Structure 1
């Protein structure tokens, strides 16, 4: 009986030791796997990154296939895309958008431009064109002037809805800019009465009205106030000429 009990005890100890070894082995494996899984995760991340980089930088699927132009009216889409010189076939990710933007911005008709990528294969060019507030004859050609005095488009003849700017031979670019500011500040009621604007220098600007009367305007400073004063003068006094160059002390004669 004692011998049998001893054998049972030995067997129980053996089973206990076996379970202990198994638990130890599981803990060892868990520790090893805990360290290994970070390595595996890192390798997977690197592989995915390399795959993604290859896909973006070398795959034909992500190369430029289309150039879309938006906002062009004076210009044609073809004129904008020709100026942009987007490298069709180059990877979309490597296209130098700043250079494309700079080339389009150099067009006189363009006030501002935005260039963006549209995945997977398109470059979009969105332009805002200049708006003419007047026209001026330069080298025998009628050109539109925007509110900053930038000449940017040609007209075969001056449009009836835009004031004309007559610049003297010694008028410089800054004088044209002043004249454009004067025109841009005019309310519609006054603009309808103006036949053309005459400019000699930045502070020697005058208006020739459709009625044949003339207005000494001066510079573009306080143009809104000058316009308000002039409209009141025109309503109150019938004269051949007016002077609102100093709006606080206008005259009619």
Structure 2
């Protein structure tokens, strides 16, 4: 029968002194504390480190040349070069700045500042010039569209003619031809005054108003003269208005107008004719229709001949008062109605 094995005693690894001897006074299981230089194992001693580093590791190929920073005794510039290579590898080199390009922090020479300001002023001038040219072109387009194109021209269906002519003496065809000449003209180029003067030259027109309406219309409003008498004898009798303007009247209208009898060759013919026409124009319409003839003597006394009576008017004064009185007197039967003195009318 074998004897039992003695118990295993744990002891600390023997420590080497500075001379490589084992300390016999070191307690079991706990190494004696010595300075840091003496605590290094035998394999970490300087004389053994080079041999350990040079010993190749199993299954690993030795490097041809270790990095300069890992080699013992490498100079400090090798480490600096390594850091530089790593920095260059991380941040690729930037292209060099052109010599004519300045950094924001670099001061510009005076000539460069002047050139920069000159270019800025030139650029601003070109921008303003371009804006001005664009505005002029836009304005020219608008002007051409409104005043020279046919987009807003007058059309025949938008020409309106309104005539107030109870006696029907205005020639509609003549007026329409004047208005038709404006067809195709831009409405903003219409000169209403020129058209009004052309229509006003027609003797039968007393007043005219022409108005253009955007975008295609034009309107003419005409008031005709009223014939009040017929001056002359027989077929040569011409219709006249209250202002002595000669009018073209038809045969039917001529026959219904009062016939004026006077000396047209006298020196006062024009003045006396106007006095006579003023008195006729003052008569009410129903009384004027009953007047067959009107005369004025050289002294300026006016007389009207009715179908069966005579009206002694006197001079061409207070015509409105005489017209009111004669309207009342004609309601009474008489052969002569004298209103020479409006305040004392006489019938007999």
- TM-score interval, smaller chain: 0.5 to 0.7
Structure with more helix by fraction: 1
Q: Which residue of 1 aligns with 2:239?
A: 144
**Greater RCO between the two (CA within 8 Å, min separation 6)?**
1
Distance change in 2, residues 1:87/1:237 (3 Å) = closer
Give the TM-score taking structure 1 as reference length: 0.66
Distance 2:298 2:160 in 1: 39
Aligned with 1:74 (options 159, 162, 169): 169
- Higher mean alpha-carbon deviation, 61-70 vs 99-108, is at 61-70
Aligned with 2:141 (options 20, 43, 51): 51
Task: For residue 149 of structure 1, give the secondary structure of its aligned residue in structure 2.
Answer: coil
Give the TM-score taking structure 2 as reference length: 0.50
Displacement, 1:139? Answer: 8.2
Q: Which residue of 1 aligns with 2:282?
A: 185
- Higher mean alpha-carbon deviation, 99-108 vs 242-251, is at 242-251
- Equivalent pairs, count: 216
Structure with more strand by fraction: 1
Distance change in 2, residues 1:49/1:159 (3 Å) = same
Cα deviation per residue 1:17-43 (whole Å; 9 max; x = unaligned)?
Answer: xxxxxxxxxxxxxxxxxx9xxx79977
Displacement, 1:74? Answer: 3.4
Correspondences of 1:1-253 after superposition (within 5 Å): 46-66=136-156, 68-72=159-163, 74-83=169-178, 86-137=181-232, 140-158=235-253, 162-170=256-264, 172-188=269-285, 190-191=287-288, 193-200=290-297, 203-211=300-308, 213-230=309-326, 238-239=334-335, 241-251=336-346
Gap regions ≥5 residues in structure 1: 1-34
Judge conservation of contact 1:178–1:202 (CA < 8 Å) in 2.
Answer: no
Judge conservation of contact 1:135–1:158 (CA < 8 Å) in 2.
Answer: no
Judge conservation of contact 2:153–2:185 (CA < 8 Å) in 1.
Answer: yes
